[in-house]
Chain A
Amino acid sequence: MNLKVEQKDELTVVYLEGRFDAYSAPDVNSQMESLSEKQETPQLIVNLQDVVFVDSTALATLVQAMKRCRQKDGDLRLSDLKQPVRMIFELTRLDRAFEIHVTEEAAITAYRA
């Protein structure tokens, strides 16, 4: 799976692409870890527009990344979930743990509000 990072002022947007599962999770995890380590108050948006599948290891990876950010008074918010991915978040009620936005712009606006 591909991972691209774009810094938009104080916000870090992470674009993931492909199948996010037990095979790709360790790599994503280490990159996310270094992202949250680098910043004093990591404010991340993970854009899931191009993610077609997430399994439980992927969810655990996102949860861990979110916890790391919140520990440093930052946050990790999600945007642009495709329908199957959104369903998984709803079924596991992770939509109550994460702040999820329809679009990246909405996530950015919410951060800056």
Chain B
Amino acid sequence: MRSQLSPDAQMLAAVVSAQRSQFKAIAEAWLTSGASSFSIWAENQLLKSWPTDSEIATAAMRAPIRLNGAEIGELQVAGIGTSAAEALLRSEAGLVSRLARMEKELKGMTARLIDTQDQLLAMYDLTEATRNQLDMGELLRQLAYKTAQLGATEGSFLMMKQEDNSLFIEYYPDPLLDEEIMRSCLQKVQKTESELLLNLSETEYSKAGLRNLLFVPIRIQGEITAALGLINKRDGDFYAPDTKLARVIAEHAGSRLEHLVLYKESLDQTKLQVEADLAQRVQLNLLPKKSPQISGLDLFAGSRPASHVGGDFYDFIKLPNKPFTFTVGDVSGKGMPAALLMAMTRTVIRTKTNVEPTPTPEVILDNCNSELYDDFTEVSMFATVFVGQIEPKNNQLVYANAGHSPVIYCPVKGEPRMLEADGTAMGVLPTSLSEDHTITMNKGDVLVVATDGFSEAENTAGEFFGYDRLLKVVKVLSKKPAKAIVEGLYETISNFSAGHRQDDDQTLIVLKTI
């Protein structure tokens, strides 16, 4: 019979059975003061009566036991009916009511406590599972799985917008929604900045077994670029507590994702920095520390790297029984690949000069091009290279130019002119087209082999320094020693492009016959 009692009445029964001795004391007090019976009822069912073995006499007094305004039972006394007794019974019923109310509150609190504890444990679990997770896919997968567990849903997903606007989505257990609806949901929550609850039972999605969807925005670095979705709440609909829980998970997911994004960013930055530093070290370490002493020649070189490393290089090759060889080059492209190719080009030029029986500039360039053509093609770069040789005995300059500029020859008598390339840059064609050219230099003639960092130096008005200015400056400086010419050129370029960033390396060799 008890099973038919309402939950509140059942609770009253539990209170009575738990406080049996107290009720017994109350009953005995009534019996002692002349009552023939005392009984407790819940919704017209007898819970307990005293004396225990006798029939229950018709009640003379009744007092209701109330819970939140509704009557859930009553106390009955037979054999006494005075107004004082009635007042006593009412106050006793009042006490039982309070007892029932407290019991109910306690039960509610216990239930909430257990819920909270469960959630705390689950959240702890979620935190542990996603801690130190540095793989985006794995993190999203873990989050999706835990979301479904915590939210008691049949499915879930985590989605995140990538830099290229594509969506990174992880489902648990299977994909149930297409990307289109996800994209439109994300757009909606980006506008409303709050969660979206969709009832899908009347839509085409119901055919795929979808009932309801709770879509919760996730903020990453202040912007809604991700979301979590809970699909098909087990046994029913999503209510306020589900939303609340989902928000907490979303917040946690947001912080984990943000952490990961920041980590990746700083990792990328560090990688770039490390690469730039390495490239710069490669480049700087390969440049000759000082110019060699060659009788009859005044030589000076300089290289001013741009903030991001380019691929400029220069080298002096002074070997026994070989003509004195010098080279200036510029590898297209930047960073580590350019620095490595530059190192390779420099090494190959050195080796060819050393091992070839008659390593004229043309031969050096041709051999070097054949050797490195595939490597240049592999990384889609090329290098402009000038190779010169000078015989101090007769001041004969032999040079070959693979697409390199600017190279300026400034004779002591006459106007400076460009020594233009006849072959294209190294790495462009399988065979080199550069040929040897000879100039007999007179005492006081100047050769400036620079890189395009000079001619393409830009001023704040967006003008290039250009070849005409360069020719004029070289003419003016040509009376000075090589070192002063180098310094003078750097100074002129610095003044011209003051206030404008140096975009490219500026490298040069100045050679003067004395």
- A residues sitting closer than 8 Å to B (CB atoms) are 22, 29, 56-57, 59-61, 63-64, 67, 90-94, 96-97
Contact = CB atoms under 8 A, between A and B. Distances in A.
A97 B382 CA distance: 12
Nearest to A95: B424
Specify which of B404, B425, B428 lies most central, judged by the most chain A CB atoms within 10 Å of its CB. Answer: B428
Given A57-B333, A93-B433, A97-B428, A63 B380 contact: yes
Bin the interface of chain B by size: 20 to 34
A113 B139 CA distance: 60
A94 B333 contact: no
A90 B334 CA distance: 23
Given A92-B421, A93-B425, A96-B423, A61 B380 contact: yes
Specify which of A59, A61, A93, A96 lies most central, judged by the most chain B CB atoms within 10 Å of its CB. Answer: A93
B266 interface: no
B330 interface: yes
Contact of A92 (B334, B377, B425): B425
Specify which of B332, B421, B422 lies most central, judged by the most chain A CB atoms within 10 Å of its CB. Answer: B332
Contacts of A91: 403, 405, 420-421
Interface of B: 330, 332-334, 377, 380-382, 384, 402-405, 420-425, 427-429, 433, 452
Given A94-B403, A96-B433, A57 B428 contact: no
Contacts of B424: 92-94, 96-97
A73 B381 CA distance: 21
B491 to A, nearest CB: 25
A33 to B, nearest CB: 10
A60 B334 CA distance: 12
Given A94-B428, A96-B423, A97-B424, A60 B380 contact: yes
A22 B334 contact: yes
Contacts of B421: 91-93
Contacts of B330: 56
B377 A94 contact: no
